[in-house]
Structure 1
Amino acid sequence: MITVRISFEKKNEASYISLLDLQRVMQRVLKRSGLPVWHTLGFNPHIYMTFACPLSLGQESECECVDVKTEAEAPDFEQWKAALNAIMPAGIVITHVGPVQMKADLIAYACYRITYPAAAAAALDAYNALESAPVEKHGKKGNKIIELKEHLPKVEYTTEGDSLHIELCLPAAQELNLNPSLLTGFLEEKFGLPAVSANILRKKFLTADKQLFV
């Protein structure tokens, strides 16, 4: 049995599809495609699927992936890609299909591009001037205070016309997973920069030694 990684982009209206709904979408699309994906055994068989680092609602991504299994001996992955793209909902595009090379637990960082209106520069300069930026992180085991400055001592940005772009990488491991919304939320609370004015795009995952996760 081969474990297959289906990599995809999730943008525009698809950014508002929750993880639970995304699981349903993928189940239905895989069934409609007729591809030889493996189903779990038991009373209620369903397609085996695992997603790496679920994406927050409203955020976009160029590096999402779901792993499935197949008993096909020599799957035509280009045919898989074409079959899936033909029936994917708007905003989801399959970018690559192939055998798994790295296990998802090797992901250590997620890299993002945050786009604001150019006027956000004043709030970012004010953030960079701070010595401390404590934020409350909500988790299944309760809430805790995270010091943003330990992970983002300075936020670099570039401006292009009426837009401002931030490129940053944050921990995305099981031990510590930081969402860029912690930064956008802090900027809103501290400096009045509306979090809804930020477009968050996840660009790639990195391993602990900063290698590209594939």
Structure 2
Amino acid sequence: MITVRISFEKKNEASYISLLDLQRVMQRVLKRSGLPVWHTLGFNPHIYMTFACPLSLGQESECECVDVKTEAEAPDFAQWQSALNAIMPAGIHVTRVAPVEMKADSIAFACYRISYPAAAAAVLEQYNALETAPVEKHSKRGKKIIDLKEHIPQLRYTALGDTVQLELCLPAAQELNLNPSLLTGFLEEKFGLPAASANILRTKFLTADRQLFA
């Protein structure tokens, strides 16, 4: 049995599809495609799927992936990609289908591109001048105070016409997973920069040694 990784983009209106709904979407698309994917056994068989680092609602991504299994001996992955893209909903586009090379738990960092209106540059400079930036992080284990400056010492941004773009990589491991909404929420609370004015795009995953996750 081969484990297959389906890599895809999730943008525009698809950014508002929750993880639970995305699981339903993928189940239906895979069934409609007729591809030879493996189903779990038992009274309620369903397609085996695992997603890496679920994306927050409203955020876009160029690097989402879902793993499935197949008993096919020599899958035609180009045909898989074409078959899936033919029936994917708007905003979801399969970019690659290939055998799994790295396990999902090898992901250590997630990189993001955040776009703000050009006027936000002054606020970003105010953040850079801070010594600390404490935020409250909620998890299943409870609440915890995180200092963003330990993970994002400076916001390096580029002015592009009427927007500014900043690139950052945040921890995305099981021990510590930081959502960029912690930063946008802090900038709103501290400086009044509306979090809703930020467009958040996840661009890639990296391993602990900063290699591209595939």
**Is the structural similarity TM-score above 0.5?**
yes
Equivalent-residue separation in structure 2 for 1:128 and 1:78 (angstroms): 46
Quote the residue 2:17 is aligned against: 17
Question: What do the CA deviations read for 1:129-180 (whole angstroms, capped 9, x no partner)?
Answer: 0001000001111111000000001111010110000000000000000000
Runs of 4+ in 1 over 2 A off after TM superposition: none
Query: Paired residue for 1:102?
Result: 102
Structure 2 match to 1:178? 178
TM-score (norm 1): 1.00
In 1, Cα distance between equivalents of 2:160 and 2:46: 47
C-alpha distance in structure 2 between counterparts of 1:153 and 1:86, whole Å: 44
For normalisation by structure 2, the TM-score amounts to 1.00
- For 2:89, the equivalent position in structure 1 comes to 89
Aligned residues between the structures:
214
User: In the alignment, what sits opposite 1:67?
Assistant: 67
Counterpart-to-counterpart distance in 1, 2:194 and 2:88: 32
- For structure 1, the 5+ residue unaligned runs are none
The 3-state SS of whatever aligns with 1:88 is coil
The corresponding residue for 2:190 is 190
Equivalent pairs: percent with the same residue? 85
1:150-189 alignment to 2 at 5 Å?
150-189=150-189
Segments of structure 2 that go 5 or more residues without pairing to the other structure are none
Q: Which residue does 2:127 correspond to in 1?
A: 127
**CA deviation digits over 1:93-149, x for unaligned, max 9?**
000001000000000000000000000011111000000100000111111100000
User: Match of 2:127, SS?
Assistant: helix
